[in-house]
Copies of this chain bind each other. A is one copy, B any other.
Amino acid sequence: MIQSIDRALRVLTVLAGDHRLSLGEIAQRLDLPPSTVHGIVRTLLPHRMVVQEHDSGHYRLGPAVLTLGNVYLDTLELRSRVAPWAEDLARRTGLAVRTAVMLVEDVVVVHHEPRPDGSRQMPEVGIVIPAHASALGKALLAFDDEAAETVLGGPLRSMSGDTVTDVRALRGQLKTIRQTGLAEEVEEAVLGECELAAVLCDRLGSPVGAIGLVAPAEEWPLDAAVVTALRTAARSVSRELGATSWPPHGDAPKASDMGTRRKRPRPA
């Protein structure tokens, strides 16, 4: 691992947490001398990954990060495959539909179909939610042992009063999810908001994302028809991605298995 690049990425991460930081503040958070950090931001600056406020000298993220994010979305097969199904689901259920992928200990929303009531809703693409506090995250963790260990090993932040932060309780939930194929979350991330989610798989049977229905607490639990619609959508998207079975059996290759590459799923 290249030290300076790792540090540069850490600078970006810090800036993503607390927007608008002085050079000294960044240095403090990274436990590095200010002059070292200065060299780093000086390199990020011409690429516009960060910009400097011309009055205070503080640093913030720059427009270049936005273009990268846009390209990521445009080229994500999961997203284009999910889009029509999400639209269909939203119309059928009257609920908002979110699709997310794993990002270390969190999930990132890569697609958001607003609930079809004509109201103006904030687009949620790009938001980050702790995996253990969201149905989307739990649906993924249940079929991704590696990520599950990462999350359960680290500290479990509490998002709301109802966030499940007990490791044993979470392991139990994941086991249930593996059986039913569905993960749920009741006001664990955001008060008044519940979610039902299902994992999405690719041609290797690996979990690559999750799709979920977001409902206000008053409408919880969801109708059986709605649950079925979600399962159908998850299965259909997975099939379009090349998965041969759904829910997955849990023997999918782990993300770190890079030695054993193969284009097609292992023949039985």
Contact = CB atoms under 8 A, between A and B. Distances in A.
Interface of A: 1-2, 4-6, 8-9, 12-13, 15-16, 19-20, 39-40, 42-44, 46-49, 52, 54-57, 60-75, 101-104, 108, 110, 123, 125-128, 203-204, 206, 253, 255, 257-258, 261-263
Number of copies: 2
B72 A61 contact: yes
Contacts of A57: 258, 261
A204 B64 CA distance: 23
Contact of A4 (B4, B64, B67, B263): B4
Given A48-B103, A69-B126, A73-B66, A255 B1 contact: no
Given A2-B4, A65-B68, A56 B263 contact: yes
21 contacts: A1-B46, A2-B39, A2-B40, A2-B43, A5-B8, A9-B47, A15-B71, A16-B67, A16-B68, A19-B74, A54-B253, A54-B257, A56-B261, A61-B75, A62-B72, A63-B102, A63-B103, A64-B103, A66-B69, A67-B69, A70-B126
A262 B53 CA distance: 11
B67 A103 contact: yes
A1 B73 CA distance: 30
A110 B16 contact: no
Given A9-B44, A55-B262, A71 B61 contact: yes
Contacts of A55: 203-204, 261-263
A69 B75 contact: no
